[in-house]
Amino acid sequence: MNITANNPTRKTWLEVSKDSDFPIQNIPFGVFITKDDIITIGTRIGDFAIDLGALHQLGYFSEIPLTDDIFLQDSLNDFIADGRKTWRLVRNRIAELFDMTNGELRDHTSHRTDVVFGIDTIEMQLPVTVGDYTDFYASKEHATNVGSLFRDPKNALMPNWLHVPIGYHGRSSSIIPSGTPVRRPMGQSRPLEGTNTPGFGPSKLVDFELEMAFITTAANNLGERIPIEETEEHIFGLVLFNDWSARDIQAWEYQPLGPFLGKSFASTISPWIVTLDALEPFRVDNPRQEPTPLPYLQVEGKKSYDIHLQVGIQPENEKETIVANSNFKYMYWTMAQQLAHHTVNGCNVRSGDMMGSGTISGPTKDSYGSMLELSWRGQNPVPLNDGTTRKFINDGDTVIMRAHCENKDVRIGFGDCTGKVLPTLV
């Protein structure tokens, strides 16, 4: 089916600024509460939120086989479970309805009032109920940097890393939408030199991890695997993902079983899911993989995406400083490989599952996706515009992540993914 929603020449009758993350070619999906306290599924064009529940009730999706209450829900899980054909029909129909030349809704004042709201009047929620959250470790630069810092620069990459898309099962209950504050976690840390008792208190090394996460549909039954060439059929879309980390807690706890409380206190996501369909024009060549992965991880075609990523730190009452610029295309393992690997043992993936990419670091020092790497574990403090420096994140700091794709025709963005660190609760 044609993705007519991606037509780069289409213009909308809504006013959209040129640098908006949400032109009519984006049409992301999210969940919000209206000013009348109604929760609904919606989309966004420019600075307008569009109530898909109301649109459906008014009959604007009558040509598409959808259940009556598909958009009158507090999560996108059921809509995502309807599959890619339905996602495409709905996105194409929204594009058509808001096309400059279409008067159906534009010229129906009362319907328009029921459906289109200013973005400032709504409150974004989590877009999906996340059953399971998996976090990969797919940036070679990041894995090499962390291996150098935590273990041994000469053997920074573990011997399995170039063969296995490494991942672990994370915590979904603490995934929160952009704007939700994050409490500095309490925890244990490595005993000081010459002592046997671990430290305990508020983490001193709170960090961000610049990631993206993809959201799946119900893809396979338990015991079945997804062949790699079919994986993208089951990916609904992506969000920005800040996988907050407490490095002191992590360093003490992570052996032998991996990350635990150093990671599970919070992960912030951008609230609009940008569909994989909308990212279609931004496919780029996959990174060269040497050695060649096993056959179940080999795939033809471009499975990487050119998505510019940025991180800023804004201290309380100060202006923001951009501390990192990276790109999603730096991922060594693609989403297709990650999903094929995730299910190769027969593990079933469900609608609304979230798969973090792992921290996305680029090849240069200003493209690292965490303070651990940017400050090289505190050895090179990062200067901010207000004259202070940061080794890690202070109380009162807001971390702001952004992502967008751009070509000569269109810019598709994700909106902000922000979180402010608050002092530990006492």
Catalytic site residue from 108, 111, 142, 341:
142
Among the candidate windows 203-211, 223-231, 394-402, 411-419, which touches Ca ion by CB under 5 A? 203-211
Cα separation, 105 vs 9, in Å, equals 20
Given 82, 99, 135, 373, the residue binding Ca ion (CB under 5 A):
135
CB of 92 or CB of 134, closer to Ca ion: 134
Sequence-distant (≥ 6) Cβ neighbours of residue 343 within 8 angstroms = 219, 220, 224, 225, 226, 349
Kindly state the smallest distance separating residue 357's Cβ from Ca ion, in Å. 8
Strand pairing report for 182-183 and 206-207: unpaired
CB of 46 or CB of 165, closer to Ca ion: 165
Kindly state the smallest distance separating residue 140's Cβ from Ca ion, in Å. 15
Residue length of the chain: 426
Q: Left if phi > 0, otherwise alpha if psi is -120 to 50, otherwise beta: which for 367?
A: alpha
CB of 232 or CB of 243, closer to Ca ion: 243
Cα separation, 248 vs 32, in Å, equals 36
Kindly state the smallest distance separating residue 241's Cβ from Ca ion, in Å. 8
Given 209, 232, 277, 397, the residue binding Ca ion (CB under 5 A):
209
Among the candidate windows 127-135, 189-197, 340-348, 412-420, which touches Ca ion by CB under 5 A? 127-135
232 interacts with Ca ion by CB under 5 A: no
User: What backbone phi and psi angles, to 5 degrees, belong to 212?
Assistant: -120, 155
Cα separation, 375 vs 380, in Å, equals 5
| Residue linked to tokens 């259940």 | 67
Q: Which residue is nearest to Ca ion (CB)?
A: 243
Sequence-distant (≥ 6) Cβ neighbours of residue 144 within 8 angstroms = 156, 157
Among the candidate windows 8-16, 146-154, 199-207, 239-247, which touches Ca ion by CB under 5 A? 239-247
Q: Which residues pair with 354 in a beta bridge?
A: 133, 215
Kindly state the smallest distance separating residue 109's Cβ from Ca ion, in Å. 48
Q: Is 108 labeled as catalytic in the residue annotation?
A: no
CB of 209 or CB of 253, closer to Ca ion: 209
243 interacts with Ca ion by CB under 5 A: yes
Kindly state the smallest distance separating residue 145's Cβ from Ca ion, in Å. 13
Closest CA to 353 of 175, 178, 218: 218
Among the candidate windows 32-40, 46-54, 103-111, 134-142, which touches Ca ion by CB under 5 A? 134-142
For residues 228-265, one letter each, b for 16 or more C-beta atoms within 10 angstroms of the residue's C-beta and e for the rest, the string is: beebbebbbbbbbbbbbbbbbbbbbbeeeeebebbbbb
207 interacts with Ca ion by CB under 5 A: no
Q: How many chain residues touch Ca ion (CB under 5 A)?
A: 3
Which positions lie near Ca ion, rule CB under 5 A? 135, 209, 243
Q: Which residues are known to be catalytic?
A: 142
